[in-house]
Amino acid sequence: MKYVDEFRDPQLIRNVAGEIARSVDPNHEYRIMEVCGGHTHAIYRHGLQDVLPENLRLVHGPGCPVCVLPTGRVDDGLSIAEHPGVILTAFGDMMRVPGTRGTPLELKARGADIRMVYSPLDALRLAQNEPTKHVCFFAIGFETTAPSTALTLLRAKALGVRNFSIFCNHVTIVPAIRAILESPDMRLDGFIGPGHVSTVSGCRPYEFIARDYGKPVVVAGFEPLDLLEAILMVVRQLNAKEAKVENQYRRIVPWEGNMPALRAMSDVFELRPYFEWRGLGFISQSALKLLPAYAAWDAEVQFEIPGVRVTDPRAAQCGEVLKGVLRPPQCKLFGKECNPEHPVGALMVSSEGACAAYYRYVRYEDDAANAQPVTS
């Protein structure tokens, strides 16, 4: 696969890994946060921690839209599916996320019409094909996904499709990064910036991290070579006592972002005064909602939404893991009460969540050291 395989080249990966090993100061404990859940997944999927020096730890950030969605919002979304004649559509990622009364899949098993879609456009097409039903799209995601919802909504309006609505849960990444930086127990050296969010927002929004907090930020791609190169760039900045925003993912990310995408977003969305993030609490100006001009397609206007806040189980230490204070296995519930089949906390919910990825890919860590390879 072009633009994939070249960036998984074993020789080049070893080159860059070797360069990282030679560049780190052996007396310093490096803690670099990859903000984006896609990065978290890629790091585990490709076993990158195995090729990094012992004293360089990747800390998993809050960039997993499924994980940070509070239980109350899941309940709100699922309540829409209980209205007669409604088809609730969602991405596959949402289907196993537990609300108070079960997951979308469990509700579906009890008879609710909940369907998985690959694209919001598929939800719109379903509405056109099912004129007697109302199709609601459970929108989640950061700046990468928000423009897709925006274009779908603009298209629904242009086509005059009235049996379609959006339950908007789009969030923005910068306020969450700021919340982590403001957290008193935060100890991070630098950041790997979210590559796909940056295709939309560009690299400027991270400048405050370098300017106000003195931390390097390198916007990175998702292949092993991209991530390793970005880590090397962060280490080099730290070695040079620099703090700036750099773009490792130049083949994809324009420095200024994507104007049509930003325009589409400002056409249909406005910032919510505040929004609850699972594990992080309420963060102001961190989420999007539909502008009043689109009330006819806004599920929060069209349906009675309970809007009840549900507190996370006290024992789950998602917030500490999200902020990089604890590693997943240090949480009291990890792997016991909380596992991918029965997620208690946010980070076990999606395959991008730090805990789910850790559970899936490195549970064996302690015995792996004792493994005896039989062949070379």
Binding to other proteins in span 313-352, by CB under 8 A: 340-341, 350-352
Stretch in the footprint of other proteins (CB under 8 A) among 109-117, 162-170, 277-285, 303-311:
109-117
Q: Which residues contact 356 (CB under 8 A, 6 or more apart)?
A: 340, 343, 347, 348, 349, 350
Question: Tokens 């979210």 sit at which residue?
Answer: 194
Position among 241, 251, 314, 336 found at the interface with other proteins (CB under 8 A): 251
In the bound complex, what is the minimum distance in angstroms from residue 23's beta carbon to other proteins?
11
Position among 129, 132, 370, 376 found at the interface with other proteins (CB under 8 A): 370
Contact 310/337 with Cβ under 8 angstroms?
no
Contact 23/239 with Cβ under 8 angstroms?
yes
Determine how β-strand 274-277 pairs with β-strand 281-284.
Answer: antiparallel
If binding is defined by CB under 8 A, does position 77 make contact with other proteins?
no
If binding is defined by CB under 8 A, does position 158 make contact with other proteins?
no
If binding is defined by CB under 8 A, does position 20 make contact with other proteins?
no
Q: Which residues contact 149 (CB under 8 A, 6 or more apart)?
A: 120, 137, 139, 141, 166, 168, 170, 268
Structure tokens at 281: 């609490």
Structure tokens at 295: 């009330």
If binding is defined by CB under 8 A, does position 91 make contact with other proteins?
yes
Do you know the residue count of the chain?
376
DSSP state at residue 337? T
How distant is the alpha carbon of residue 19 from its chain centre?
29
Nearer to other proteins, 70 or 147 (CB): 147
Give the torsion sign (CA, 347, 205, 265, 306).
positive
If binding is defined by CB under 8 A, does position 367 make contact with other proteins?
yes
Position among 180, 264, 290, 331 found at the interface with other proteins (CB under 8 A): 264
Cα 148 from Cα 170, distance rounded (Å): 11
If binding is defined by CB under 8 A, does position 373 make contact with other proteins?
yes
- Tell me how many residues contact other proteins (CB under 8 A): 95
Structure tokens at 116: 């998985």
Give the footprint of other proteins on residues 126-155 (CB under 8 A): 141-142, 144-145, 147-148, 151
Stretch in the footprint of other proteins (CB under 8 A) among 72-80, 120-128, 305-313, 323-331:
120-128
Position among 121, 181, 243, 310 found at the interface with other proteins (CB under 8 A): 121
In the bound complex, what is the minimum distance in angstroms from residue 305's beta carbon to other proteins?
23
In the bound complex, what is the minimum distance in angstroms from residue 118's beta carbon to other proteins?
5
If binding is defined by CB under 8 A, does position 120 make contact with other proteins?
yes
Position among 197, 219, 288, 321 found at the interface with other proteins (CB under 8 A): 197
Instruction: List the one residue out of 328, 283, 362, 367 whose CA is nearest residue 49.
Output: 362
In the bound complex, what is the minimum distance in angstroms from residue 368's beta carbon to other proteins?
5
Nearer to other proteins, 70 or 303 (CB): 70
Position among 224, 279, 324, 328 found at the interface with other proteins (CB under 8 A): 224
Cα 288 from Cα 169, distance rounded (Å): 7
